């Protein structure tokens, strides 16, 4: 709020003191941009750290892993059944890699 008041006061003074309107407008625009940068930079350090984000991602991955445990178990059973069916063929054919 203080920065806004300072910018407003400097803007008024710039238009009253400087006879060239373009230079005054340039100073006012430059001050407005500077004010905007100051406002945007207020919460610069208010973000989470890399470690905090990684902990959250790990929790989501673990929850997804646990949620899909039964599907992985079914896939594993089907794969083992497939390998059991293919085992006699693999024993007959030494060139077979499947």
How far, in Å, CA of 34 to CA of 3, rounded? 10
pLDDT for the residue 97: 57
| pLDDT above 80 for 94 | no
pLDDT for the residue 52: 94
How far, in Å, CA of 77 to CA of 83, rounded? 10
Structure confidence by residue, pLDDT tens digits, 60-93:
999 999 999 999 999 999 999 999 998 888 777 6
Domain segments of the chain as ranges: 2-40, 50-92
Structure confidence by residue, pLDDT tens digits, 17-41:
998 999 999 999 999 999 999 888 8
How far, in Å, CA of 77 to CA of 8, rounded? 73
pLDDT for the residue 22: 93
Of the two residues 95 and 71, the one the predictor is more confident about is 71
């Amino acid at each position: 709020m203080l920065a806004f008041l300072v910018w407003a006061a400097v803007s008024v003074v710039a238009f009253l003191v400087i006879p060239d309107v373009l230079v005054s407008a340039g100073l006012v625009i430059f001050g407005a941009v500077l004010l905007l940068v100051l406002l945007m930079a207020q919460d610069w350090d208010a973000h989470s750290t890399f470690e905090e984000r990684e902990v959250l991602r790990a929790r989501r991955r673990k929850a997804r892993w646990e949620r899909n445990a039964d599907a992985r178990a079914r896939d594993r059973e089907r794969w083992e059944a497939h390998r059991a069916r293919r085992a006699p063929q693999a024993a007959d054919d030494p060139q077979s890699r499947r």
